[in-house]
Structure 1
Amino acid sequence: MDSHDSRSEYESRMHRVLAYIDEHLDEQLDLATLADVAHFSSFHFHRLFSAWMGETFGDYLRRRRIEVAAMRLAAQPRTRILYIALSVGFGSAEAFTRAFKNRFGCSPSAWRELQSLQRHAKSNSDQANSKHGQALQVTFTEHEVSRKLNKENIMKVVLIDRLPATVAYFRHLGPYGEPIVRFWQETYVPWAVMNKLGADHARYGISHDDPSITAPEQCRYDACAEVLPDFMATGGALKKTIPGGKYAVLHFNGTVERVGEAWAALLRNWLPSSGLQLDGRPCFEYYPKGAAFDCKTGKFECEICIPVVPL
């Protein structure tokens, strides 16, 4: 195995570990278990994890639990704080509150109230702007998005059962927005052309982190192509399976400047009233075979998919 293949193998194993952590945040996680997931020696795994991630396993686990909890507090305003604490692995509301204050400087209840006030303030601001004929100001790079979407689009949210999908992917670590556009163009497209993965292959864009919560330099994004299970990933690409199951899907047709608005409306407006909640599977944008793209207007179509289970 040459040095390039060796690094790809390490990267693939560490990605499996990170996915396993997100899927099991409500469980006791230890280094021995994660070493088995990665097929590495448990004796050396802590050092390997710290070297690869730039933070210890304990620090990473605490950060992910708090960040996921913060997203759920905003997306599930009627869910008890204790339940959210338990769902990300805290044994009590007191322990959760202490950790949350250390990370965000306020209690979980204060955070939730702040998110609600910001959502209503943004909605009122949008209404005032629309009365004066002003365009919605949406900064995709920072995901400072509108908290509303018109009723016609809200009605297009459907629940579907998706089958698992094998994908080959490249991971971007850093800020979202324009860097992601360049990542697709400069990293994914040349590789896809070399591997004859054109418009007849479905694509996925997976944002693993919320940039309003996670530091920009720690945000993870995967640019993926759907492939057959026996596809041989080359050129630095990795392979994984996107889990199947129940997803809420919003069909989107618009520009990059509006896609953040659609995400916010789905997570902050539709989800809290749906009787459903997110689980540990990733959210993603699904670009089906032959998905429309207008190079003149910049409009594209995709399906915004969020994994859901009963509340």
Structure 2
Amino acid sequence: MSEDRFRHVLGYIDSHLDDTLSLGVLAAQAAYSPFHFHRRFAALTGMGVHRYVKLSRFKRAAWQAAFRSDLSVTEMAMQAGYEGPDAFSRAFRQRLGVSPTAFREQPDWARWAHAWQDLDQVRRFVMPLAHQHGDVRIVEFPETAVACLPHRGPQERIGETIRRFIAWRKENRLPPSRAATWNIAYDDPDETPPDAYRMDICCTCASVLPNEHGVVAATIDAGRCAVLRHTGPDSQLIDSVRFLYGEWLSAGKETPRDAPLFFHRVTFFPDVAEHEAVTDIYLPLASGT
């Protein structure tokens, strides 16, 4: 199975988690016989195709449990392909240590951060991104007023900050469809001590009233930026960032400005299939000559 066919199969799985994903269906997508497909899939991913599908469905349901409070446990279980909420709760407890309801009340974000490593490893190392210099465009970014919730501390606990920000957005009726979502990244998590890690969770907003969530008014500065569109899971976002700082900067004459990298979250998982999530990466640049 070529890399392109393999990428197609994983994308098909992401887009059809609510459908029947039998061995025969997926083998047909790969243009392989079922006899050879499951062996080739296991050789490339390190896990069987049935397990991969089950974990993909479970991951979506678990993200819904963490960030989509309007969905019931029964609805999540059905969408994940379980016979009922009891079976789903057992699987949730096995992977995350607690039931979905208990996790919603008191999340263990450290365990959460490591729960998807097997799936993320498949995507990142078996399906590497292939960027081209022509994918990067230069724009004049306008000064943008935002509502900002600073995250300070271990990256693995950022889910806690996201949930607080979602709660503020709901109270202020500012869903992503009405107010663009931004992340401001001050630090490289691989090079920063966990307690010193900083990222701001933001959305476009002209003014912010005092609130109990810690959301404050802030501004993303205007200026020239290089923009690279990343399409795919967050586990591969670091690869797109490294392309910008590595190959792209090395090949041209641009110089980074003394301002943090920031992201525009155009669409995101679990609202869309994971391979269809879109993030625009903005690298601030020095003024042109």
TM-score by structure 2 length?
0.52
- Aligned-partner SS, 2:247: helix
Higher relative contact order (CA 8 A, sep 6+): 1
Q: Deviations over 1:38-87 (max 9, x none)?
A: xxxxxxxxxxxxxxxxxxxxxxxxxxxxxxxxxxxxxxxxxxxxxxxxxx
Q: Deviations over 1:254-274 (max 9, x none)?
A: 012111111111112212222
Write the distance in 1 (CA, Å) between the matches of 2:243 and 2:45.
Answer: 17
2:130 counterpart residue number: 150
2:170 counterpart residue number: 193
Write the distance in 2 (CA, Å) between the matches of 1:149 and 1:233.
Answer: 42
Once the 2 structures are TM-superposed, how far is the Cα of residue 302 of structure 1 from its aligned partner?
Answer: 1.4
2:153 counterpart residue number: 174
* Conservation of the 8 A alpha-carbon contact between 1:233 and 1:239: no
RMSD between superposed Cα atoms in Å = 3.1
Write the distance in 2 (CA, Å) between the matches of 1:206 and 1:295.
Answer: 21
Once the 2 structures are TM-superposed, how far is the Cα of residue 134 of structure 1 from its aligned partner?
Answer: 4.4
2:247 counterpart residue number: 269
Write the distance in 1 (CA, Å) between the matches of 2:129 and 2:210.
Answer: 39
Once the 2 structures are TM-superposed, how far is the Cα of residue 213 of structure 1 from its aligned partner?
Answer: 2.5
Write the distance in 1 (CA, Å) between the matches of 2:223 and 2:272.
Answer: 36
- Judged with a 3 Å threshold, the aligned counterparts in structure 2 of structure 1 residues 294 and 173 are, in CA distance, closer, same or farther, namely closer
- 1:45-84 equivalence runs, <5 A: none
Q: What is the letter of the counterpart of residue 162 of structure 1?
A: F
1:207 aligns with 2:179: no
Q: What is the letter of the counterpart of residue 189 of structure 1?
A: I
Write the distance in 1 (CA, Å) between the matches of 2:268 and 2:153.
Answer: 28
- 1:10-21 equivalence runs, <5 A: none
Consecutive unaligned residues of structure 2, counting only runs of 5 or more, are 1-42, 47-113
Q: What is the letter of the counterpart of residue 285 of structure 1?
A: F
Give the percent of matched residue pairs that are identical in Structure 1 and Structure 2: 23
* Conservation of the 8 A alpha-carbon contact between 1:149 and 1:265: no
Consecutive unaligned residues of structure 1, counting only runs of 5 or more, are 1-132
- Aligned-partner SS, 2:241: helix
- Judged with a 3 Å threshold, the aligned counterparts in structure 2 of structure 1 residues 298 and 149 are, in CA distance, closer, same or farther, namely closer
Q: Deviations over 1:122-177 (max 9, x none)?
A: xxxxxxxxxxx8469xx999xx988x84144x42110000100111111111122x
Q: What is the letter of the counterpart of residue 251 of structure 1?
A: R
2:138 counterpart residue number: 159
1:252 counterpart residue number: 230
2:273 counterpart residue number: 297
* Count of residues in Structure 1 that have an aligned counterpart in Structure 2: 170
